[in-house]
């Protein structure tokens, strides 16, 4: 039983990292109708940026802060201005293709510029173990969970409780009415992209010690986050957290009780089940579409 709990707990910790990336998917979708298939690479790039800052002698937390600034400019502003804004006018498909292209370009760019080898990444947390009701849990798992959970809930609260957050939601629900109400629509959309970039940096900080900094680390992370977002509900931020955690736990249990070979299939099977029986996702709302 204690092993089962241990697996569930470490699954929740991994899942909360998926949730951070998944939250980015739902945020961009809600605020600007964009699907960003380069989400995994948006986690990989900050990891390498942090390594670059650290190679100049900056401590981990300072590198993280500097990377957040760089990410807001590059992955937030430049991504919005360079790719999302010009392409969104032509519908969803061009931007989906463009972000797939972006992900290939980003990973191969890092491979060409930095090498294809993996790099070690320092962990934020000391290696310590706790015994909770007979279950050994590591400090790293607890803090990862707490950090990721706080970020997801914080984002949720920001969207629901602050004027800016509500304005962002208004933009997402109906851009024209929002404009009429005097909301600065482009600025709200930029905020969404900026928040997405910072979340990606946080995911990079938490995930890279395990994944190791490598040019292709974004691939599987991006896919799992996408599945998690669909499972939880693409138009609901809390759904991203739920989806991420479900995928994380499911993977861990499958690896332990079925076979590690089927681990990566878990997210896909859940994804298909959700698409078949509850296409809007577990927490998602049905949305009527104008034709």
Partner 1 sequence: MQLIRRTLLAAACAAAFVAPAFAQNVVKIAGLYELSGPGTTSGTNFKDGVQLAIKEINAAGGILGRKIDATVADTQSNPGVAKGLASKAIDDDVFAVFGPVFSGSVMVSMNETRRAEIPNFVGGEAAAITKQGNPYVFRTSFTQETAMPKVARYIANGLKAKNVAVMYVNNDFGKGGRDAITKALADVGVKVVADISTDSGQIDFSAPVLKAKQANADALFVYTNEEESARALRELRKQGYDKPLVGETTLTGQKVIELAGDAANGATAHVGLTIDAPNERMLAFKAKFYKEYNYFCDHNGIKGYTGVYLLKAAIEKVGKFDRKAVASALHGLSVKAATHPGVILDVSIDDKGDLDRESYLVEAKNGRQIVKEVLPALGKK
Binding site for partner 1 (CB under 8 A): 3, 6-7, 10, 14, 111, 115-120, 122, 127, 129, 136, 138, 140, 209-212, 214, 216, 220, 251-252, 255-256, 259-261, 263
Which is closer to partner 1, CB of 106 or CB of 195? Answer: 106
Residue 255 CB: number of other CB atoms within 10 A?
A: 17
Question: Length of the chain in residues, anyone?
Answer: 291
C-beta of residue 124 within 8 angstroms of C-beta of residue 205: yes
CB of 38: closest distance to partner 1 in angstroms?
Answer: 19
Q: Report the residue number, 79 or 211, with the smaller CB distance to partner 1.
A: 211
Q: Where do the H-state alpha helices sit in the chain?
A: 2-32, 39-55, 60-71, 79, 85-88, 92-114, 139-161, 163-173, 175-180, 185-211, 217-232, 237-257, 265-277
Least CB distance to partner 1 at residue 212 (A): 6
DSSP annotation of 124 reads S
Q: How far is the CB of 31 from partner 1 (least distance, A)?
A: 30
Query: Token pair for residue 244?
Result: 């991420």
CB nearer partner 1, residue 77 or residue 114: 114
Closer residue to partner 1 in complex, CB, 202/266: 266
Instruction: Please say which residue, 115 or 174, places its beta carbon nearer to partner 1.
Output: 115
Cα–Cα distance for residue pair 270/207, rounded to 1 Å: 22
21 burial via Cβ count (<10 Å: 0-12, 13-18, 19+): buried
CB 116, min distance to partner 1, A = 5
Q: Which of 108, 177 has the CB closer to partner 1?
A: 108
Nearest approach in angstroms of CB 218 to partner 1 is 12
Please report, in angstroms and rounded to a whole number, the separation of the first and last CA atoms in the chain.
Answer: 52
* Burial of residue 159 (number of CB atoms within 10 Å: 0-12, 13-18, 19+): buried
- Name the minimum Å distance from CB 147 to partner 1: 16
């Amino acid at each position: 039983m204690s092993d089962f709990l241990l697996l569930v707990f470490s699954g929740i910790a991994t899942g909360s990292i998926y949730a951070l990336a998944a939250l980015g998917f739902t945020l961009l979708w809600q605020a600007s109708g964009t699907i960003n298939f380069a989400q995994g690479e948006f986690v990989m790039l900050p990891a390498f940026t942090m390594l670059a800052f650290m190679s100049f002698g900056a401590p981990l937390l300072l590198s993280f802060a500097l990377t957040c600034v760089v990410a807001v400019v590059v992955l937030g502003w430049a991504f919005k201005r360079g790719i999302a804004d010009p392409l969104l006018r032509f519908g969803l498909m061009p931007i989906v293709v463009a972000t797939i292209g972006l992900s290939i370009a980003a990973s191969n760019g890092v491979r060409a510029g930095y090498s294809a080898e993996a790099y070690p990444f320092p962990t934020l947390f000391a290696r310590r173990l706790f015994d909770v009701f007979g279950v050994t849990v590591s400090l790293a798992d607890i803090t990862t969970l707490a950090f990721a959970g706080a970020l997801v809930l914080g984002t949720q609260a920001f969207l629901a409780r602050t004027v800016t957050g509500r304005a962002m939601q208004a933009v997402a629900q109906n851009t024209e009415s929002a404009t009429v109400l005097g909301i600065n629509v482009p600025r709200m959309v930029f905020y969404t992209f900026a928040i997405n970039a910072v979340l990606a940096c946080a995911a990079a900080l938490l995930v890279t010690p395990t994944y190791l900094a490598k040019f292709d680390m974004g691939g599987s992370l991006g896919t799992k986050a996408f599945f998690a977002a669909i499972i939880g509900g693409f138009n609901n931020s809390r759904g991203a957290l739920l989806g991420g955690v479900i995928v994380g736990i499911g993977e861990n249990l499958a690896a332990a009780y079925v076979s590690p070979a089927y681990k990566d299939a878990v997210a896909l099977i859940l994804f298909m089940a959700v698409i078949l029986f509850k296409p809007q996702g577990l927490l998602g709302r049905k949305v009527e579409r104008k034709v």
